[in-house]
Chain A
Amino acid sequence: AQSVTQLDSQVPVFEEAPVELRCNYSSSVSVYLFWYVQYPNQGLQLLLKYLSGSTLVESINGFEAEFNKSQTSFHLRKPSVHISDTAEYFCAVSDPGNQFYFGTGTSLTVIP
């Protein structure tokens, strides 16, 4: 079984400042990697994903994540956050066994 570690449970950051949300996973086998975002009282929405190819993946709203196989990491970054980015962010891993594993989440709070 996989394990996914999100090291920071809460991240406060000022508006327009950069942010990095950290994610590490356990497996050394081929995996697919995802970041999901959850706004209050809503379901999860896909933010970005790594399936294969370029190790740097981007979302349409300015987030990016880099797959680092040697460090088994998939950290999420944004160079300048907005108030609307306040949400819970989940890192997830899918293995070849058809199971999906989520981290415990990071609550990002953007301060005006």
Chain B
Amino acid sequence: NAGVTQTPKFQVLKTGQSMTLQCAQDMNHEYMSWYRQDPGMGLRLIHYSVGAGITDQGEVPNGYNVSRSTTEDFPLRLLSAAPSQTSVYFCASSPTSPKTQYFGPGTRLLVL
């Protein structure tokens, strides 16, 4: 199993541009989530999904959209990038509720 994969590893955007961060898992996990990690703030939950077709907002959802059309994929869309969205983004998955989450390697995003 590849586990949780994320693409791209690095991305530089200009303010106002849009992009999609990809996340995929091959463990047939129902629960998937997106976090952002910022210095001194730990990880903050952006959006999560408890199964295909079901998504919900986390602590910091503004400026981000998600969809869950399949069990395997959970893309995160930045609608109009802002410098405040410069961060490291982690995707995670879990077999049943968030009892044990498996994290991807992260995407480092810089918004100029």
Flag if A98 contacts B103 (CB, 8 Å).
no
Q: Please indicate the chain B residues that have their CB under 8 angstroms from the CB of A36 in the complex.
A: 103
Q: Could you tell me the distance between the alpha carbons of A69 and B60 in the complex, rounded to whole angstroms? A: 29
In the complex, how many angstroms separate the beta carbon of B93 from the nearest chain A beta carbon? 12
Question: Among B44, B48, B103, which residue has its beta carbon within 8 angstroms of that of A43?
Answer: B103
Nearest-neighbor residue (CB-CB) of B97 within chain A: A98
Label chain A's interface by main secondary structure.
Answer: strand
Q: Does A94 contact B (CB under 8 A)?
A: yes
Q: Could you tell me the distance between the alpha carbons of A32 and B96 in the complex, rounded to whole angstroms? A: 13
Q: Could you tell me the distance between the alpha carbons of A101 and B105 in the complex, rounded to whole angstroms? A: 19
Q: Please indicate the chain A residues that have their CB under 8 angstroms from the CB of B35 in the complex.
A: 102
Determine, out of A13-21, A45-53, A58-66, A76-84, the stretch whose residues face the partner at the interface: A45-53
Which residues in chain A, 89-111, are within 8 Å of chain B measured between CB atoms?
A: 90, 94, 98-105
Q: Could you tell me the distance between the alpha carbons of A6 and B40 in the complex, rounded to whole angstroms? A: 11
Label chain B's interface by main secondary structure.
Answer: strand
Nearest-neighbor residue (CB-CB) of A104 within chain B: B42
Q: Does A54 contact B (CB under 8 A)?
A: no
Nearest-neighbor residue (CB-CB) of B3 within chain A: A43
Flag if A90 contacts B48 (CB, 8 Å).
no
In the complex, how many angstroms separate the beta carbon of A11 from the nearest chain B beta carbon? 15
Flag if A98 contacts B106 (CB, 8 Å).
no
Q: Please indicate the chain B residues that have their CB under 8 angstroms from the CB of A102 in the complex.
A: 35, 42-44
Nearest-neighbor residue (CB-CB) of A95 within chain B: B98
In the complex, how many angstroms separate the beta carbon of A7 from the nearest chain B beta carbon? 13
Query: Contact residues of A with B, CB < 8 Å?
Result: 1, 4, 6, 9, 32, 34, 36, 42-46, 49, 51, 90, 94, 98-105
Starting from the known contacts A42-B106, A98-B98, A102-B44, 7 additional A-B residue pairs (CB-CB under 8 Å) come to A34-B100, A45-B103, A102-B42, A104-B40, A104-B41, A104-B42, A105-B42
